[in-house]
Structure 1
Amino acid sequence: MHKNIPVRLSVICLGLFIFQSSHAESSSQEVHQLDTIVLQAFHLDKDILSTPASIFYVEQPFVQNNMNVNLSETLKGVPGLQVNNRENYAQDLQMSMRGFGARSTFGIRGIRLYVDGIPATMPDGQGQTSNIDLNSLSHIEILGGAFSSLYGNSSGGTILTTTRKGEGQDSIRLDYAGGSHQKGQANLILQGGTTNSSEPSYIISSSYFDTHGFRDHSTAQKKLNNSKLTWNLENGSEVNWIINHVDIQADDPGGLTRAAWKENSKQVANNVQLYNARKKIEQTQTGVTWNKPLDDQNELYSMLYLGQRSVTQYQSIPKMSQLASNHSGGVIDFERHYFGLDLRWINQEAIEKTRFIFGLAFDAMKEDRKGFQNFSGDILGVKGQLRREEHNTLWNLDPYMQISYNFLPNWTLDAGLRYSNVHFKSKDYYLDNGDNSGTTEYKRLLPSLALQWEIQPELMTYVSYTQGFETPTFTEMSYPANEDDSYKFNLKAAKSETFETGLKSKNDLGLFTLALFSTQTKNDIVSAGNNEGRATFRNADKTLRQGFEFSWNKNIWQDLIAQASYSYIHAKFNSNIPAIFYDTLQPNKMNYAEKAILVPAIPNGNYIPGIAKNHAFLGLAWQPEQGVHAGIDVRYSDKIYVNDLNTDTAPSYVVTSANLGYNWILKDWTVNTFARVDNLFNQNYIGSVIVNESNARYFEPADGRNWSMGLSIEKRF
């Protein structure tokens, strides 16, 4: 037996059953696009230069030079991807890819998220990043645009994060990082490899983060635990078992009007304080992945997962607004159970020069959702009378296949086909405002096709055509934009067609990628307004997203790495959208009166809000294995329209970040320190926007100049 088995088993038990919680912006993350890296996001084993799609591989640096709290610290150099930090831990990041997902006022829409192969996006397309542990992360793969339809619903893009596998000697690592606004994160990582197939390698990470917050009423605490066990069996199989738990409590500062932002970017609206707007999130999930090579030509892959997520959110909706008969109250309270599997057969060369994948994905979710008034008598910010109670279920069963055919020495044809179908059912138990029970389903056959030509061993080009599919989420269907229609399942699924062409090259000047794309979407799901806690949505007849993306990175000299990216996205409404009138009960001082509300018409040619037309990044980093490490980066974002009418914008901005640190490796000890400054020149800018906010509180300000410092100590045994 392995001499460290007692230590290893003790460590594994500690991580799996105790999950100890401790009390912790990368300057220029290297976007590795080297042709020796095999990518998983495309399903078929391909490297960057032979993948006929916009795809990026972002390695999480082992030498820490940031707080390691948000994906916005890691993904800011990926073209086409906009990741905005709201400075609001109650609402997650605001993330969009080629303009998909920009409508979201909370959580992630339009982008599929995976953590170690396990979906972090529900079958209806609602996703979250809160359970991604950057401290134990190995790398991230970003599949942009068209070929994300390989993953089915909500496929404007796909992001796959992967936890490191334990390797080498058993070790323990302690990190602490702190900074402005009483921000701090402590982290404990235990890990070790193995050469014995009967025991697993392991990595166990536990962290505690808290902050007073940049803005008023924005304190937050986050506990995150992540474990990954890996068995490499004698028959060639690899088994990964992942367990993840996250617990978040955060105040919600909400948005500001332009005048309020200019006056004091740290303030919050009065109702936020009165009703103590806040959110509590708790999520636990586990999953197993299994790869089994049958012979030189055939391989099986399977993934099974299950999880539970509960959320209680207190909104700042005024008391009188909730007295309307159809209002669901100012407290959202739900518990969700989800599970699924993915089965895949990979075949190499059954037909000469051809690779096949045949798969079947199943996902399901059950949710008990309630709504309460956020007051009891004269006491505000507490759970009051029940105003909503429903049981929601949804599931999908998607068969899919891919083929890669190298029909000529330098020509390859890649094709994919997925039948995506999502089934919704809601049972309404709160009948005082009518029975809103119902069912619906969305189905779509999603073809994808790409032709690539290897012009030279270090130069390739491709053209592709794909069809995409995005259903509304349960949340987006909760409130019809037209209240005269009580049926909640009236939103249509968005259907898109994308044409893309690209060029990739790796030579002495570095690695270059260029992609040009055009996406026409029918029945795009867009915001119809955010009024008194009711976020409503409707379908736009046609929208158009066109643009191009460019990236370059190069190891200039020794450990000096340069990275640059630029993206241009012209996203507009491509047809007139008519106005909507509806009636809602609005209380006045004496009685209730019917008040007509207008969702205004959108002219053809208006820009889709929430999307920066131009986005650029430039970074330079010195990253040796030990010794001094340093970096600086500059990021530019164009102005962003805040509503469909394009009457106001969040201004463009340029922000600079810099870091400096030192890494010691002394026998069995590694010690790393870092110090960094973000927003070096103290720019007053808007970090993200709340699209179509009815009170014109569109703006979520970004932090000014802020600092952080950290210390990491690792001991190997």
Structure 2
Amino acid sequence: MVLRSLLIILLIPVIRVYSQDQVRDTVTQLEEVILYDPIQRNTSLGITPSSIIREKAFQNHSPVDLQSSINQISGVYVLSGALNTNRITIRGVGARTPFGTDKLRLYFNGIPVTNGTGSSTMEAFDLENLASVEVIKGPKGTAYSSSLGGAILLNTKSSERRETRLQTSFTLGSYNLQKNNTLFSLSDEHWVLDLNYNRLRTDGYRENNSFERDGLLLNAGYKFNNDSQISLLVNYIDYTAQIPSSLGATAFAEDPTQAAFTWAQAQGFEANRYTLVGLSYSNKLTDKLKYEHSIFYTYLDHYEPRPFNILDEFTNGYGFRSVFRGNMGKLSRMNYTFGAELYKDEYNWGTYENLYRDNNGEGSLQGEQLSDNKEYRRQFNAFATLHIPFSKAFTAQLGLNINKTVYDFRDLFNIGASSRSARRNFDIIALPSLDVQYNVGKGNSLYANISRGFSNPSLEETLTPDGVINPDIRQETGMNYELGTKIYSSNGKFWMTASLFRMNIKNLLVAERVGDDQFIGRNAGRTRHQGLELDMNLLLNLSNSLDFIPFLSYSLSDHSFVEFLDAGEDFSGNPLTGVPKHRANFGLRIKNNEGFYWNNTFQYVDEIPLRDDNSLTSDSFTVYNTRMGIQKKLGSSFRVNLNAGVNNVFNVRYAQSVLINAASFGGNEPRYFYPGNDRNFYANISLNYTL
């Protein structure tokens, strides 16, 4: 029934449309639009297509639910086991990663925050601090590393008017949820200062599931003149999160609120202190050349008691990103971008015995040291694009990214012949890209892309179970082919984007779990990622005072193993594990000119293959969330927004995240499932005072 409805929606005819550039020039931005391309083009991307979601779309969900907000974009799926346990996949890339997010690049206000092996952490950022989330699907983002999964660009709110403003938001909800976000903003002709403090605490839906986070965000800038400015970014996060871990099918069916037995006994948790400092300077050298330079430093201190051991680690990272943009003199319609990005980090980690069984039920207790390691990691990207408008209707863009990656592993625990120190120096890899865009008259905008991408192996994938770097491990590489269209109505009340894509990936990286904390990394074959993505939005003025805004995103993901041999078994032709074939987000926003709004979203997720042999899948599910509120301006300086919401209205039992190929140890049932929250409630008040 769900698929039949989706097919009907897909067959809706669209007649009158406007091209991307014409819409940006002629259509007034509507605040009601839920998901749309930015009116101000990301100049680093040129004509490369991307998807962007802004603050109005965040209002569809709870202020703590960044995952559901991102899931409104077709082709992007965030599997969330808890607030601190997230895995982002884009077009199926990253679905086989056991834990966390890799194979894509994450940027925060233009600064790369993905570590040296490609791992990204979304929980280090507060949803209420963000103005937009932009997603580049696949490797076509030449200026953003050309990763197979693509890139996600997080952009914070910033003051654009000369004003002094104080804004605070309070949220209370189920599971003893308490959240506060307070912003002080000051700006004048030259200075901009945004200082934000946020605090979040919740007991969580499950046993051993509490989460507590404090954060401080500083955005400061000084504008010397119309051509140059300098800015400072500081983001500090301190959070402690208990870990309930995944459940087997029996435990999930009997009581999804329970934690995995050993994790409950050890009272497993993670404690993190994360700091990002970035300094950026931009300048207009001439009318035809502009540049922006950023330097940054990151620090992460992570402590995680697990049932099998205790992990104690810290990482120092630093680097720069420089981008030049201009046009070619008399050929002023021919634009170019070039630049470079360097990220280096020093990763230090050790493991210790966990003596929780001898601690009288008090949880984890650190014992003797088991390992002591250091790894130096370096990634360098150089990139360039050339934008060539052959005519008013036809435009092309050539791009090239060059990557160099080096890992240097030091074993500080073992000495002599037993030392496992090793160095992995990957060859330079060239990643070209070609975009073309064709506008038909005043209307249809068609685009196509051919691009090459790569993924570096994660730490687990570079090491054998003995902790030795595997000299034969290779980077994943793939070719992406994409054809799409962008459609806008003449009055700006309807838009639609649709794309067909195919990505062929070889040297598939596989991290097979062979023990509690042991993995084997290897290149195991080839995969084919192909599918259809659709996003649409419609504004219906039912009266002078009442608007209906329905919106839809749909993803058809037909991903499969082309060639995959594992432990003597042939899985070629099977669906790719960890990816639902069909996924849809349908929503309806109702608002009037008195400030009332009512947002409704339905998320449908098809069953997910859990094993390479296709012997087990998760159950499909549909979850309905609703949020209702009213926002009012009281006088010339004061605004208030009151709202409340219900998540999982029909109290569906479902797995919000899954593990693939889960192993069974000691005769215990494999643990595949992270339960989603049951029906839960929240209420929020936001106050804004402007001087």
Same fold (TM over 0.5): yes
Match for residue 435 of structure 1?
419
Which of 683, 688, 705 is 2:657 aligned to?
A: 688
SS at match of 1:359: strand
Q: CA deviation at 1:515?
A: 0.7
1:611–1:641 contact (8 Å) kept in structure 2: yes
2:60–2:600 contact (8 Å) kept in structure 1: no
Which of 394, 400, 419 is 1:417 aligned to?
A: 400
Does 559-568 or 444-453 show the bigger shift? 559-568
- Give 2:232's aligned amino acid: W
Decide whether aligned partners of structure 1 residues 575 and 521 sit closer, same or farther in structure 2, where only a CA change above 3 A counts.
same
1:676–1:708 contact (8 Å) kept in structure 2: yes
Corresponding position: 1:697 with 2:671: yes
Q: Distance in 2 between matches of 1:219 and 1:644?
A: 33
Which of 304, 310, 320 is 2:301 aligned to?
A: 310
Decide whether aligned partners of structure 1 residues 127 and 140 sit closer, same or farther in structure 2, where only a CA change above 3 A counts.
same
Decide whether aligned partners of structure 1 residues 146 and 456 sit closer, same or farther in structure 2, where only a CA change above 3 A counts.
farther
Match for residue 213 of structure 1?
204
2:245–2:260 contact (8 Å) kept in structure 1: yes
Q: CA deviation at 1:39?
A: 3.0
Which of 445, 449, 452 is 2:434 aligned to?
A: 449
Q: Distance in 2 between matches of 1:535 and 1:153?
A: 27
Corresponding position: 1:78 with 2:73: yes
Match for residue 708 of structure 1?
682
1:29–1:74 contact (8 Å) kept in structure 2: no
- Give 1:355's aligned amino acid: N
Match for residue 161 of structure 1?
154
1:125–1:153 contact (8 Å) kept in structure 2: no
Match for residue 450 of structure 2?
465
Q: CA deviation at 1:626?
A: 5.5
Corresponding position: 1:510 with 2:523: no
Q: CA deviation at 1:608?
A: 1.8
Corresponding position: 1:285 with 2:276: yes
Q: CA deviation at 1:623?
A: 4.7
- Give 1:346's aligned amino acid: R
What 5-or-longer segments of structure 2 have no aligned partner?
1-30, 665-669
Q: Distance in 1 between matches of 2:153 and 2:464?
A: 31
- Give 2:584's aligned amino acid: A
Match for residue 239 of structure 1?
230
SS at match of 2:262: helix
Does 525-534 or 235-244 show the bigger shift? 525-534
- Give 2:349's aligned amino acid: R
Q: CA deviation at 1:146?
A: 3.3
Decide whether aligned partners of structure 1 residues 700 and 361 sit closer, same or farther in structure 2, where only a CA change above 3 A counts.
same
Deviations 1:549-580 (A, max 9, x none): 0111122226532211111111111113131x
Match for residue 478 of structure 2?
496
Match for residue 10 of structure 2?
none
Decide whether aligned partners of structure 1 residues 112 and 30 sit closer, same or farther in structure 2, where only a CA change above 3 A counts.
farther
Q: CA deviation at 1:170?
A: 1.0
Q: Distance in 2 between matches of 1:671 and 1:185?
A: 17
What 5-or-longer segments of structure 1 have no aligned partner?
1-27, 318-329, 580-599
Q: Distance in 1 between matches of 2:332 and 2:57?
A: 41
Match for residue 395 of structure 1?
378
Q: CA deviation at 1:29?
A: 8.8
Q: Distance in 2 between matches of 1:692 and 1:194?
A: 56
Match for residue 22 of structure 2?
none
Deviations 1:424-480 (A, max 9, x none): 001101117921111112231000012221113332112221110111122432444
Q: Within 5 Å, which residues of 2 pair with 1:29-40?
A: 30-33=33-36, 37-40=39-42
Deviations 1:173-207 (A, max 9, x none): 22110111111101211113212x2xx21221111
Q: CA deviation at 1:404?
A: 0.5
Q: CA deviation at 1:272?
A: 1.0
Which of 638, 645, 649 is 1:669 aligned to?
A: 638
Deviations 1:209-247 (A, max 9, x none): 111110111111011211111222214223221100011
Corresponding position: 1:537 with 2:537: no
2:62–2:645 contact (8 Å) kept in structure 1: no
Match for residue 83 of structure 2?
89
1:131–1:246 contact (8 Å) kept in structure 2: yes
Corresponding position: 1:646 with 2:617: no
Match for residue 322 of structure 2?
343
Q: Distance in 2 between matches of 1:108 and 1:602?
A: 27
1:64–1:672 contact (8 Å) kept in structure 2: no
Which of 152, 177, 187 is 1:183 aligned to?
A: 177
Q: Distance in 2 between matches of 1:578 and 1:234?
A: 61
Q: CA deviation at 1:137?
A: 1.3
Q: CA deviation at 1:701?
A: 0.7
Q: Distance in 1 between matches of 2:215 and 2:457?
A: 29
Give the alignment's Cα RMSD to 1 decimal.
2.2
2:60–2:626 contact (8 Å) kept in structure 1: no
Match for residue 276 of structure 1?
267
SS at match of 2:365: coil
Corresponding position: 1:525 with 2:509: yes
- Give 2:451's aligned amino acid: T
- Give 1:468's aligned amino acid: G
Q: Distance in 1 between matches of 2:32 and 2:68?
A: 9
Which of 109, 122, 127 is 2:115 aligned to?
A: 122
SS at match of 2:250: helix
1:146–1:465 contact (8 Å) kept in structure 2: no
Q: Distance in 2 between matches of 1:663 and 1:72?
A: 24
Q: CA deviation at 1:299?
A: 0.6
Q: Distance in 2 between matches of 1:514 and 1:220?
A: 38
Decide whether aligned partners of structure 1 residues 64 and 202 sit closer, same or farther in structure 2, where only a CA change above 3 A counts.
farther
Deviations 1:473-529 (A, max 9, x none): 22432444xx6x944454211010111111111115611111111111111112323
Corresponding position: 1:360 with 2:354: no
SS at match of 1:160: strand
SS at match of 2:366: coil
Q: Distance in 2 between matches of 1:647 and 1:709?
A: 43
Q: Distance in 2 between matches of 1:569 and 1:716?
A: 47
Q: Distance in 2 between matches of 1:136 and 1:241?
A: 16
Q: Distance in 1 between matches of 2:48 and 2:343?
A: 28
Q: Distance in 2 between matches of 1:282 and 1:686?
A: 29
Decide whether aligned partners of structure 1 residues 377 and 568 sit closer, same or farther in structure 2, where only a CA change above 3 A counts.
closer
Decide whether aligned partners of structure 1 residues 162 and 52 sit closer, same or farther in structure 2, where only a CA change above 3 A counts.
closer
Match for residue 597 of structure 1?
none
Q: CA deviation at 1:63?
A: 8.8
Q: Distance in 2 between matches of 1:235 and 1:527?
A: 51
Match for residue 618 of structure 1?
586
SS at match of 1:495: strand
Corresponding position: 1:552 with 2:553: no
SS at match of 2:629: strand
SS at match of 1:366: strand
1:390–1:430 contact (8 Å) kept in structure 2: yes
Q: Distance in 1 between matches of 2:32 and 2:647?
A: 15
SS at match of 1:610: coil
Q: Within 5 Å, which residues of 2 pair with 1:19-98?
A: 30-33=33-36, 37-40=39-42, 43-44=44-45, 46=46, 51-53=47-49, 55-61=50-56, 66-86=61-81, 88-91=82-85, 93-98=86-91
2:52–2:132 contact (8 Å) kept in structure 1: yes
Match for residue 3 of structure 2?
none
Q: Distance in 1 between matches of 2:460 and 2:186?
A: 42
Which of 216, 230, 236 is 1:225 aligned to?
A: 216
Decide whether aligned partners of structure 1 residues 620 and 64 sit closer, same or farther in structure 2, where only a CA change above 3 A counts.
closer
Q: CA deviation at 1:392?
A: 0.7
- Give 1:360's aligned amino acid: A
Decide whether aligned partners of structure 1 residues 186 and 373 sit closer, same or farther in structure 2, where only a CA change above 3 A counts.
same
Q: CA deviation at 1:674?
A: 0.7
SS at match of 1:69: coil
Q: Distance in 2 between matches of 1:487 and 1:307?
A: 25
**Normalising to structure 2: TM-score of the pair?**
0.89
Q: Distance in 2 between matches of 1:507 and 1:377?
A: 65
1:63–1:672 contact (8 Å) kept in structure 2: no
Match for residue 147 of structure 1?
140
- Give 1:555's aligned amino acid: L
